[in-house]
Structure formats: structure tokens, C-alpha cells
Structure 1
Amino acid sequence: MNATSADIAAALTFVWFGMVIAISFLEAPLKFRAPGLTVPVGLGIGRIVFRALNRVETVLATALVVVVATGDPGAAVITLIGVAAAVLVVQLAVVRPRLTKRSDAVLAGADPALHRSAAHLSYIALEIVKVLVLLALGGTVAAS
């Protein structure tokens, strides 16, 4: 890759990586430890925060594709961006709708314990894959 495209791609990648780490692995779990925070309030906040995160992720992924496409990338960079983008698409198109259905039920007054969802674990697993891929992508483009 040319130096300018690699530098921009590295910056975009590490911003994306940092946002996912900060929100998914710090804010989300810590929020529910706040004294007095109810599950419905936590879910309401989480929906807003993750909707915003996912929008920013979509913008960052799109910008990465554009920057990398103009920078003569190698196969590793193309593969890593493809995997990161695919994970994001699965999260948005498959997992988030299931999580929204669960949170809708809880926000409507249903017992959270009765609405456990494997989708939550799927989302976390995909987040782990995504941060590992973004870390590898950032290192790869920074080294090029």
C-alpha cells in the first residue's frame, strides 16, 4: 500500500478498534454494576449507545474500504477488511434484530430472566472476532 493510504487506514482501523473495546468491553458490562440502575434503563441506554456505535462502525468500515481500494492493498489487507466488514454485517443484519426483539419484550415489562437470548453470546463472540481482526488489520496496514 502507498504510505498515505496505509497511514489513514491504520488510523481508521485503530479508532474503530478503540471504540469497540471501549463500548462493548468496558461501558456495556460496567453499566449494569451502577447502583440503582434497572435492567430496563440499562437496556434502553445500551440500545442507544450500540445503535450509535454501529452507525459509526459502518462509516469507518466504508471509509476503510475506500481508502484501501485507492492504496493498492495486498491480499492480507483485503481479507482482513472483508472479514471485519462481514462480521459487522452479520451483527447488524442477523444478531441485532434478535437482541432488539428481546429488549423490546423487557422494555414492555417482561421478566428479563424469561427472555434470555443466545443472540447476546453470539454478539459478544462476534465482537471478539472483530477486535482481533481489527488489531491484525491495523498492524498489517501500519507495517506496510
Structure 2
Amino acid sequence: MAWSVALAVAATFVWLGMVLAISFLEAPLKFRAPGVTTVIGLGIGRLVFRALNVAELVLAVLVVVGVVLGDGPMLVVGVLLVLLVVQLVVVRPVLNRRSSRVLAGEDPPRSRAHLAYIGLEVTKVAALVVLGVQLLAGV
């Protein structure tokens, strides 16, 4: 396996693990911990997801470099990049505005943006699995 493909494989599976651990484990569980209020949970969530998104951007660059140099499956990489950009540019700002209102003491109505973010995360997980398998199979 060429170093570029190995880089793409490693970055893909690290990215997958981070999304699974943060989005599907940490995020829902933190609100069940004793003493964690909605305000505290939102404050923690904003920090954690900001860090996750920065890590995702770095991992996306590594995946792109590895796939381009290794002549890998660019279609799935393109899908991942679109998903990430939509999350960061379209959905996250809506969620941030709502969480800012909650942190300021308001009680805004529920937002469908949260469901959109979850849908994008599920799709991103599927795309990361497909990409990882394709890279390992040499497709």
C-alpha cells in the first residue's frame, strides 16, 4: 500500500471514529449526566463540536491529499466534502444562533436544523465507511 493511500485510510478511519464518538455517543449522553443543565450541555457541546469540526477539516485535507496522490475514489471524497461544507456553512450557523439564544436565557422554539445535522452526520458516517472500504480494497 502506497503511503498516500495509507494516509487516506488512516485519516478516514480516525475521522469516522471521531464522528461516531462525539456525535453519537458524547453528545446525547452528556445531557443525562447528573447536574448537567441544558445551558451547561449546550456550552460544552459548542466547544466540543467546534473542536470536532476543526479536526474534521484537517482530516478532510489529509484524505484529499492521500486520495489525489493515490488515485483513489474521488466521488465519495466529493460527497464527504459537500456534507461537511453544508454542515459548517448552512446548518451549524443556525444551531449556533439558537444555542446563543438559549445561553442568553431565552426559550426559542425547537429547530429542525438539529435533525438536519443528525441526518448529515448519518450520511457522513456511511460515506466514511464506504470510502474506507474502497481504499482498503484498492478501488
In which range does the TM-score fall when normalised by the shorter chain? over 0.9
Query: Contact 2:7–2:62 (CA<8 Å) still a contact in 1?
Result: no
Query: Contact 1:106–1:115 (CA<8 Å) still a contact in 2?
Result: no
Task: Tell me, yes or no, if structure 1 residue 29 matches structure 2 residue 28.
Answer: yes
Q: Distance in 1 between matches of 2:5 and 2:137?
A: 8
Task: Tell me, yes or no, if structure 1 residue 139 matches structure 2 residue 138.
Answer: no
Runs of 4+ in structure 1 deviating by more than 3 angstroms, as ranges, are none
Report the 3-state secondary structure (helix = DSSP H, G, I; strand = E; otherwise coil) of the residue aligned with 1:70.
helix
* TM-score, length of structure 1 as denominator length: 0.93
Q: Distance in 2 between matches of 1:94 and 1:63?
A: 23
Instruction: Specify every segment of 5 or more residues in structure 1 that has no aligned partner in the other structure, as ranges.
Output: none
Instruction: Specify every segment of 5 or more residues in structure 2 that has no aligned partner in the other structure, as ranges.
Output: none
State the identity %: 59
Aligned to 2:90: 94
Quick one: higher RCO (CA 8 Å, sep 6+), 1 or 2? 1
**Post-superposition offset of 1:22:** 0.1
Aligned to 2:121: 127
Aligned to 1:78: 74
Q: Distance in 2 between matches of 1:118 and 1:70?
A: 39
**Post-superposition offset of 1:5:** 2.0
Supply the RMSD in Å over aligned alpha carbons: 0.9
Q: Distance in 1 between matches of 2:133 and 2:66?
A: 16
Cα deviations across residues 51-102 of structure 1 (Å, max 9, x unaligned)? 00000000100111111111122xxx10000001110000000000000010
Cα deviations across residues 95-142 of structure 1 (Å, max 9, x unaligned)? 00000010000000012xx33110000000000000000000001001
Report the 3-state secondary structure (helix = DSSP H, G, I; strand = E; otherwise coil) of the residue aligned with 2:70.
coil
Paired AA for residue 92 in structure 1? L
Query: Contact 1:40–1:106 (CA<8 Å) still a contact in 2?
Result: yes
Q: Distance in 2 between matches of 1:95 and 1:54?
A: 12
Aligned residues between the structures: 138
Query: Contact 1:87–1:130 (CA<8 Å) still a contact in 2?
Result: yes
